Amino acid sequence: MKQSILTTICLSMLIVLFNSGVAQAEEAKTPQAYPEFSWDTVPVYAHCSYDPEFFKPEHYDFLAKHFKLVAFTAGMKEKIETGIAAGAAEVKKRNPNVKVLFYFAGDILHSNFTISNASYPENGFLEKDAVRRSVNKKTGKVTLRTRKYFDKSREDVREWWASVAEKAVKEYGCDGIFADGLGSDGRGLLSPQRQSEVRDGIKTMCDLAHEKMGPNGLIIFNPLHGSEGADLLPATDGAMIDNFDRVMYLKDREKKPNSRQLDAMTEAIEAMSKASKQGKIVIFKGWPGFHQKDVDLMKRPHEERVKLAQAYINFPLASFLVGAGPNCYFQYTWGWRPEFGTFDWYPEFDKPLGPPKGEAVKNGYVYTREFEHASVYVDLENKKGRIDWR
């Protein structure tokens, strides 16, 4: 009898210790340094290149006041690492609660990351390069661009990338990595077996980066396109959806999307909702119906572009709101440089929103959703959005 009681006690203790270990492991997977999320107003995100010649004190003030999550990308000609560190320090000096991400590609070497690139493993690329062919519409000139992609099946490449992530947090004062192109795995270049090896290497690389950064280090990757990239969510802390209604030229922004584009929009909304429910951060990149590559439009006054963006905001913003959950953020610019909309503000961002009252109701390509202080309507087929604030 005594032996039976003793056995029961021992088993109970083991179960408690096991459950405690599981709880700690689950806690370690979710960083405690997520941005402070709120439904009070539209949750917004800033993402732009860091250029010390552009940034003035008022720009740091703006970022610190309006955003809980910011990413600085490549803007300087070289040693961008120290530039991003300086930008992060200026923002955090004004508001320590802002989380700043260190942009670092997860697929190719960017030339201005000269400090990090110096230690890249010799010949650490996939055995086959990607060749991109582009044709100039005006001149007909054909340009071939060769891209050498990281071989993330190699241990030394993974160690290198994870060590840069560690420096981003421990030396450069950031809260984690924005990993652009992280999911590149040699698709179309390599055999299925080799592609699978690279894909598995991506997840191992992220695990190593998390270990080196510490429990609060974030990895947000780009892109998440529907189901594409969803398998990387367990190894990361979230993703960006960057191509929802990404129209290059103003003349095309009223064109109705075709069936493939409609399906892509639907998948983007669903992917955001699904990832949020997994406890992930999701950044929804909204476009104003034009892009920085619209050269003729870029020649017009900045105020005109802001006016055009204001006239179009309801569609991308409403599309975000019908799928958004906790830890989802909206970004609205026409490019990645700071002068392409990062420091423009819209009345919709100041209106009271409140939490959603439930999931969106979908009828074909039409979504509706109720928030505490807003009713949202989206018609993807006709690219129409309406937000009734109250």
Residue 327 phi, psi dihedral angles, 5° rounding = 70, 25
As a whole-number percent, the residues of the chain with pLDDT over 70 amount to 91
b or e along 71-87 (b: 16 or more beta carbons within 10 Å of the residue's beta carbon)?
Answer: bbbbbbeeebbebbbbb
Band of residue 5 on the pLDDT scale cut at 50, 70, 90: very low
Do 77 and 62 meet the contact criterion of CB atoms below 8 Å apart?
no
Per-residue DSSP letters for 195-224? HHHHHHHHHHHHHHHHHHH-TT-EEEEE--
Beta bridge partners of 369: 376
Give the Cα separation of 374 and 42 in Å (integer). 11
More confident residue, 86 or 21: 86
pLDDT at 133: 78
Q: What is the pLDDT of residue 138?
A: 67
Residues 365 and 75 sit within 8 Å (Cβ to Cβ)? no
Asked if pLDDT for residue 347 goes beyond 60, the answer is: yes
Tell me the C-alpha distance between 328 and 239, whole Å: 10
Crossing angle of helices 314-323/259-277, nearest 10°?
50
pLDDT of residue 143: 81
Measure the CA–CA gap between 242 and 264, rounded to whole angstroms.
Answer: 12
Q: What size, in residues, is the chain?
A: 390
CA–CA separation, 116 and 160 (whole Å)? 9
As a whole-number percent, the residues of the chain with pLDDT over 90 amount to 86
- First-to-last CA distance in the chain? 69
Residue 101 scores a pLDDT above 80: yes
CA 194 to chain centre: 27
Which of 242, 348, 347 minimizes the C-alpha distance to 287? Answer: 242
Where residue 354 falls (left for φ over 0; alpha for ψ -120 to 50; beta otherwise) is left
How far apart, in whole angstroms, are the C-alpha atoms of residue 387 and residue 390?
Answer: 10
Amino acid 132: pLDDT: 80
Banded pLDDT at 17 (limits 50, 70, 90): very low
Interatomic CA distance for residues 30 and 111, integer angstroms? 32
Amino acid at 193: Q
* Parallel/antiparallel/unpaired status of strands 130-135 and 99-103: unpaired
Per CATH, is 31-121+152-354 categorized as 3.20.20?
yes
Spacing of C-alpha 26 from chain mean position: 23
- Tens-place pLDDT, residues 241-262: 999 999 999 999 999 999 999 9
**169: how many CB neighbours lie within 10 A of its CB?**
21
Encode pLDDT of 276-315 as tens digits: 999 999 999 999 999 999 999 999 999 999 999 999 999 9
**Would you list the domain boundaries of the chain?**
31-121+152-354
Tokens of residue 181, six digits: 């192109």
pLDDT at 359 over 70: yes
| Residue 166 clears pLDDT 70, i.e. is over it | yes
Chain-wide mean pLDDT for the chain? 91
Residue with tokens 């003035």: 56
CA distance 291 to 341: 11
Q: Are residues 224 and 271 in contact, defined by beta-carbon separation less than 8 angstroms?
A: yes
